[in-house]
Structure formats: structure tokens, C-alpha cells
């Protein structure tokens, strides 16, 4: 099966800036092993995989090492490619994902509005070693489904933080529990300021086979 891949730099208007995501479009599902291998070869934050299904598009996201439940900028990149490179004329795109159905709506001013799952945090005891790993003294610690939030007293505390990657890893900062299904909130709008590499301009789309 031929694979068409774009690299989209989200949140910027020039190539090689912003937040990059690869967008792979196929006619049907790919083997998960091959998807992960391509994501590892791309070696950027996320590779998004799209193929058409009844009612919309299947959308999956993979980092170079694992599949993830949600990626906002890769969803924006996927909508951008479908609208601008694939000529989708619908005002709203629907994506079936591990986080449920998501939508991307094209607005008259050229922005794209995404409906993404919420992840409301609540007070929580920090993981052992987390505070030391980040090098800050929080006022409060909160945890959502996928994130930790540490509130500090001032911006100065943020600027003076000295996070240590190795200590973060040892404190299991990325651990998660089994959460309830996410809720979806409407109205989050992001601007599709994107530079699409892999299509002209500046370069033609690249095609890869697994």
C-alpha cells in the first residue's frame, strides 16, 4: 500500500520552526509494527496516521517509541493537510481516536477550531521524588488523567526551576492510572499557522513504503 507523508510545522508560518508533526495518509489501516517503525524513523514528536472510515477518519498518533492517546498539534496538522492538501471541502472533519471522536472545524477567518478532550486536574500527592526532580517548591500539586500540574508562588519560581530529566524518569513522572473516559469540551480554537513540508511549496510530497 502506498504511503503519502507530509511534515507540518504547526504554530508557525515558516518551515523548520514551530511544532512539527508527520501526517501519514493511507487508504486503510496499517500494521502497528510498521507504523511504530516509521514513527521511529521520522524521529519527531508525533507521527499521525489517517485513513478514511465510515463517518470520518481514523486517527492515531505515535511518538518515536509509543502510541499515545492524544496529540493536539498533530490533530491540527492532520486537519491542515486534509483541508489544504487533500481538498476536503467539508466545514468539519471528524476523527475516531483512542480518546473518542474529535472534530476540526474550518472557520471563515482561516482558523481551525478543535474539539479536544478535557483533563480536569484535582489535588493529589506528588509522586515520590517529583518535586526534587523538578527543583521547585510547589504551593499545590494536582493531577489529571495524563498530566501533573504544580502551582508555584510566582513566575520567578518557574524561571528558577532546575528540572533534571534523569530524576524525572526515576520518579515515574509519566505514570498514569486507568481513568474514566474523557469528556469533550467545545470552543477551543487554535490558529492553523502552519508550514507544510512535504508538499509544494517548498518541496513535493514524499512517498514511503513500509
Q: Is residue 151 annotated as a catalytic residue, yes or no?
A: no
Question: What pLDDT score was predicted for residue 172?
Answer: 53
Q: Which residue has the cell 518557574?
A: 158
Question: What pLDDT score was predicted for residue 168?
Answer: 62
Per-residue pLDDT of the chain (210 residues; tens, 9 = 90+): 778 899 999 988 888 889 999 999 999 999 999 999 999 999 999 999 999 999 999 999 999 999 999 999 999 999 999 999 999 999 999 999 999 999 999 999 888 999 988 888 899 988 778 788 888 888 999 998 878 888 989 998 888 887 776 566 655 554 333 333 333 333 333 333 444 444 333 333 333 333
Of 41, 46, 88, 151, the catalytic one is 46
Question: What pLDDT score was predicted for residue 195?
Answer: 43
**Structural domains present in the chain:** 3-118+182-208 (3.10.310.10), 122-170 (no CATH)
Q: What is the pTM of this model?
A: 0.68
Question: What pLDDT score was predicted for residue 188?
Answer: 34
Residues 38 and 10: their CA atoms lie apart, in Å, by 20
Residues near 40 by Cβ (< 8 Å), separated by ≥ 6? 64, 65
Residues 46 and 65: their CA atoms lie apart, in Å, by 10
DSSP letter at 179 equals P
Residues 187 and 158: their CA atoms lie apart, in Å, by 29
Amino acid at each position: 500500500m502506498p504511503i503519502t507523508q507530509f511534515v507540518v510545522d504547526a504554530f508557525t508560518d515558516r518551515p523548520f520552526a514551530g511544532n512539527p508533526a508527520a501526517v501519514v495518509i493511507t487508504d486503510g489501516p496499517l500494521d502497528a509494527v510498521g507504523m511504530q517503525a516509521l514513527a521511529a524513523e521520522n524521529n519527531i514528536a508525533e507521527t499521525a496516521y489517517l485513513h478514511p472510515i465510515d463517518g470520518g477518519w481514523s486517527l492515531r498518533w505515535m511518538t518515536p517509541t509509543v502510541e499515545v492517546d492524544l496529540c493536539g498539534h498533530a490533530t491540527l496538522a492532520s486537519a491542515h493537510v486534509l483541508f489544504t492538501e487533500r481538498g476536503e471541502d467539508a466545514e468539519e472533519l471528524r476523527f475516531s481516536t483512542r480518546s473518542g471522536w474529535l472534530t476540526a472545524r474550518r472557520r471563515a477567518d482561516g482558523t481551525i477550531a478543535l474539539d479536544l478532550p478535557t483533563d480536569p486536574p484535582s489535588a493529589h500527592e506528588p509522586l515520590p521524588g517529583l518535586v526534587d526532580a523538578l527543583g521547585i517548591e510547589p504551593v499545590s500539586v494536582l493531577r489529571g488523567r495524563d498530566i501533573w500540574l504544580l502551582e508555584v508562588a510566582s513566575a520567578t519560581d518557574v524561571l528558577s526551576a532546575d528540572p533534571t530529566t534523569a530524576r524525572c524518569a526515576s520518579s515515574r513522572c509519566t505514570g498514569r492510572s486507568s481513568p474514566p473516559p474523557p469528556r469533550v469540551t467545545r470552543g477551543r480554537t487554535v490558529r492553523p499557522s502552519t508550514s507544510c513540508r512535504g508538499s509544494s511549496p517548498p518541496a513535493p510530497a514524499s512517498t514511503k513504503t513500509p
